[in-house]
């Protein structure tokens, strides 16, 4: 039976490798979400080309003309989301903080991927901070977005080892592979309703990931 797919907007600011991973996953006929819109606040984001190549509608909503008026920029973002009738929002390297207004409007429907094992290392420069702290395990988290930075119920995490001689770049690349895997799986669980209200054991993903369900 064909599933009713959730309509998803992905918000980016740059490279778009997580966007690419979500688009790849969403090509499966049985994937419970479709990406209907990609919004970037950065006109030069290379992720826009990835979206275009996949035939997904894009919108550039540059924050700079709005100067310090975050609410007005966000209203424009909100209007684009409304026009596309999205059910869920995935932040994927979106370098803007949402105001409480939009978080409230889309309460429980915004996901983010963060390059650390939250609650460790919220914020920026997570890989450098993990190396400086000497942690032996690092990783990534998919979580629901609240009006606090890198906060909110955790849907999925994957851990990677920190190895002798790791540089920030090497560690970031190792984590990024896992981001792509857990974001696609977490969105699938969430969109199909299997993630439920966290904490929910069914929604926790480990590394190595459990096997993906067979293709339809």
Q: For residues 36 and 48, which CB has a smaller minimum distance to ligand GRF in the complex? A: 48
User: Is residue 18 near ligand GRF by the rule CB under 6 A?
Assistant: yes
CB under 6 A: which stretch of 28-36, 54-62, 78-86, 113-121 binds ligand GRF? Answer: 113-121
CB under 6 A: which stretch of 27-35, 50-58, 59-67, 109-117 binds ligand GRF? Answer: 109-117
- Near ligand GRF in 35-64, by CB under 6 A: 47
Does the N-terminal peptide bond of residue 197 adopt cis geometry, omega within 30 degrees of 0?
A: no
- Near ligand GRF in 82-101, by CB under 6 A: 92-93
Residues with active-site annotation: 114
Distance (Å) of CA 92 to CA 104, 135, 137, 142, 184: 19, 25, 23, 10, 11
Please state whether beta strands 88-91 and 6-12 pair in parallel, antiparallel, or not at all (unpaired).
parallel
Residues 6+ apart with CB under 8 A from 133: 121
User: Is residue 139 near ligand GRF by the rule CB under 6 A?
Assistant: no
- Helix (H, G, I), strand (E, B), or coil: what is residue 137? strand
DSSP state of 5: P
CB of 90 to ligand GRF, least distance (A): 10
User: Is residue 15 near ligand GRF by the rule CB under 6 A?
Assistant: yes
CB of 106 to ligand GRF, least distance (A): 18
Could you tell me the two tokens for 21? 């991973």
CB of 204 to ligand GRF, least distance (A): 18
Dihedral angle sign, alpha carbons of residues 178, 143, 66, 61: positive
User: Is residue 114 near ligand GRF by the rule CB under 6 A?
Assistant: yes
User: Is residue 78 near ligand GRF by the rule CB under 6 A?
Assistant: no
Dihedral angle sign, alpha carbons of residues 55, 211, 18, 94: positive
Residues lying near ligand GRF in the complex (CB under 6 A) are found at 12, 14-18, 47, 92-93, 113-115, 176, 179
């Amino acid at each position: 039976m064909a599933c009713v797919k959730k309509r998803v907007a992905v918000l980016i600011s740059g490279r778009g490798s997580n966007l690419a991973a979500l688009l790849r996953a969403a090509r499966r006929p049985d994937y419970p979400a479709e990406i209907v819109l990609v919004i970037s606040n950065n006109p030069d984001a290379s992720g826009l080309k990835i979206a275009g190549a996949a035939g997904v509608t894009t919108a550039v909503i540059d924050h700079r003309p709005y100067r310090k008026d975050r609410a007005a920029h966000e209203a424009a973002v909100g209007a684009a989301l409304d026009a596309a009738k999205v059910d869920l929002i995935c932040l994927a390297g979106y370098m803007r903080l949402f105001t409480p207004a939009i978080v409230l409007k889309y309460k429980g429907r915004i996901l983010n991927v963060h390059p650390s094992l939250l609650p460790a290392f919220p914020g920026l420069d997570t890989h450098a901070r993990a190396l400086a702290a000497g942690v032996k395990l690092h990783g990534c988290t998919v979580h629901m977005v609240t009006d606090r930075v890198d906060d909110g119920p955790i849907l999925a995490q994957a851990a990677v080892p920190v190895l002798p001689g790791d540089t920030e770049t090497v560690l970031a690349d190792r984590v990024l592979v896992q981001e792509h895997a857990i974001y696609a799986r977490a969105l699938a669980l969430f969109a199909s309703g299997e993630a439920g209200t966290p904490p929910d054991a069914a929604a926790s993903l480990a590394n190595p990931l459990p096997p993906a369900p067979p293709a339809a």
